Amino acid sequence: MDDKELRTFSVSESLKDQRLDQALVKAGIVSSRSQGQKWIQQDLVTVNGYKEKASYKLQDGDKIEVFVPAKIDIELVPYDFPLEIIFEDDDVIVVNKPAGLVVHPAAGHASDTLVNALLAHQIKLSKGSEEFRPGLVHRIDKGTSGLLVLAKNEAAHNHLAKQFLKKTIHRRYWALCFSGPKKDQGTIEGFIKRDPANRKRFVHSDKPDDGKRAVTHFKVVKRESLFSLLELTLETGRTHQIRVHLSHIHCPIVGDDLYNGTKIARSLKNQTLKKLILEMERFSLHAKELGFIHPKTGDRLFFETPIPIDLHSLFQLSGFSDVL
């Protein structure tokens, strides 16, 4: 995994029957059980190549792998970047994030992020629950465009976080994918975990104890010979969820190199379309709709954005110009 150090140790007699989080402390990997639990929750710890709960009792000979996050020296500084602000008041701000912009600072992106851009616009955000992630109650990937809501104070942050927890936030995406699902609408359900063979990726599993539950509802907007345009609604919000689910049903998102969305493009006969997809610096996933209850007024707010201009050529060449 990028920017992470791999630490490995085997369970000896002294660690046998210990909880996994306790063993991480005793092995000197983390300073506290809470830190160990956080890393386990973030899929940074595996036992014999599999994810286990913090309460897992270690057995003699178990092999523990820990991907230790790199320590990064980050100072939140303003980033001069134009933003499309859809809505703003004293409590929340809704932005239309362009593809290519990382949401919050991390290793490799210390200052060129959405959070830094909001600071440049002199927008005050809530402290948030994690360092360097002020205002954030949800995220979308760097290669995804679309709507994102951020909290401007702690009361708003807590209120929005509870809405996400209760699954009352409305989030709808559009994705242009290769092929298409067999049914015109349906649900993809299962469990998502990190791919042991490639820590940048996540994979689908049908085993309840093998990842985090993930549910995506889909509806086909339009089909063409090689592509389908899907409308996707999230019931859960796991990392890479839509990308993993569509790859799992053999309908990878066009341009998504991590989940086979460019591999298929190499066999296209249309050279113009093939070149366009292979040179894309994003994938064709857009967070099109967002709805939530305003933390202070109680009003139900709804926002919608069109397909961004940087996807227009792809939509036109693949037969979807009528939806732009």
Residue 236 burial by Cβ neighbours in a 10 Å radius (0-12, 13-18, 19+) = middle
Own/partner pairs for 267-270, CB < 8 Å, 24+ apart?
Answer: 268/226, 270/317
**Parallel/antiparallel/unpaired status of strands 285-293 and 145-151:** parallel
Q: Which residues are catalytic?
A: 141
Largest CA distance in the chain: 66
- Alpha carbon of residue 86 to chain centroid: 21
Residue count of the chain = 324
